[in-house]
Amino acid sequence: MAVASNYEYKKIFGVIGYPISHSLSPIIHNWGFKCFNLPYVYFKWSIEPCKLPEFIVCVDTLNIAGLSVTIPFKEKIIPYLDELTDEATAVGAVNLVYTNEKNKKIGHNTDVDGFLAPIKDISLNSALILGCGGAALACIYGLKKKKVETIIVAGRNKDKLKSVKKRFNVEVIDWDLRDKPKADLLVNCTPIGMVSYKDENPYPDIESLSKFQLVYDVVYNPLETKLIKDAKRLGIKVIPGIYMFIYQALFQFQIWTKKTFDVNEAINLLKEYLQ
């Protein structure tokens, strides 16, 4: 695991995931540090799931100040943390780790508010969520906070679906039935559409996307997934994943640095990079 010298940087941060090559978190956070002349650095760490315990030892040994957490560790990392915030406890997933004044590792979730930021002024009564992993948990909880009446979750993992139903009291359906419900909002919380699956659409019947008022993809790399492109072609309002990504990163940045970077500048930065 590559790290910078503590003599050069006063604080070390990074994102942990597997795979992690698609992550643009280092670009946004290192840019933010530079904007405020902070002597911090942010890395990208690809860690095999079986190596998570060893990595946590490295976090303690190297005094790493904070972590962003992505697939598949949003739930797996919880047993290695000292405390969870109320938000992380409610969601059951963590996407941010920071160290408090007592040197304890605290797990938090900024995906919830990051997901809600682009839709805060949009009225929604129903939603269909594709996927039941850590990102889906944050989106479901966010929609609950937004008082969305009907939430349906489609997933492949039957055990996870049962857990989601119990935790949030929402309707769950088998993955093969995901084209049946009609809702105001469709949210993709699966990896389908990422760079490795960029030619795939998680929704099976493309033409029937027209029954949704809004399509929201949490995948942000590429800038426009096949789902977003197909929905735009049908004239449906869309929210690409870059917006959730920027806002959840902003809230992480605020917790770590007590500073706020410019959202529009950050969006333009990533759009230029992805294009």
Give the catalytic positions in this structure: 74
Tokens 């962003």 found at: 68
Cα–Cα dist 203/231, whole Å: 10
- Kindly give, in sequence order, each residue whose CB lies less than 8 Å from that of residue 106, ignoring residues fewer than 6 positions away: 81, 82, 83, 84, 85, 97, 98, 99, 100
**Long-range contacts (CB closer than 8 Å, 24 or more residues apart) made by 48-51:** 48/18, 49/18, 49/73, 49/76
Query: Could you tell me if 168 and 145 are in contact, meaning their C-beta atoms sit under 8 angstroms apart?
Result: no
